[in-house]
Structure 1
């Protein structure tokens, strides 16, 4: 029988931190993170695709707010698209359901 050794307090704190970093303005502004010195570029993933990072940036530092696609893209956005807050609300109500919010 497999048992998981998860630290629930750490998972809860990570979820709260992620929701606190979620931007209030959901316009897809142009962002160019490939010039940053603190971002490691994923060189093997660059074959004819946008530049990608090795680690996912927080939601307020990347232009893609959708958790399904493009979370590792560094340069994106045009300022003409406004997204809905579905990803934030899904995380918020999921944490409320599991009593993870204090």
Structure 2
């Protein structure tokens, strides 16, 4: 099963197996990981699953939707060029080992 490395704001790394087809948000929430809230349960309506994706994986992700782009403008933590909503990233074999940094606050 492919793995995701979640790095919290303090630099602690959590490597979790996330099944293909599940979102990175689901993987974090189902494993009780702090730092991703997912208040809208992954419907791309709240931005409480904001993360920063390692640049090495950005080209492997689907294009950002207009809705995701708008929500990222209202995140609690600074929006960066690597910002994405983890509810919009579905795990796949080519993302095995993806590293996502969690912001200070959601």
Query: TM-score scaled by structure 1?
Result: 0.24
TM-score with structure 2 setting the length? 0.24
Larger Rg: 1
Higher relative helix content: 1
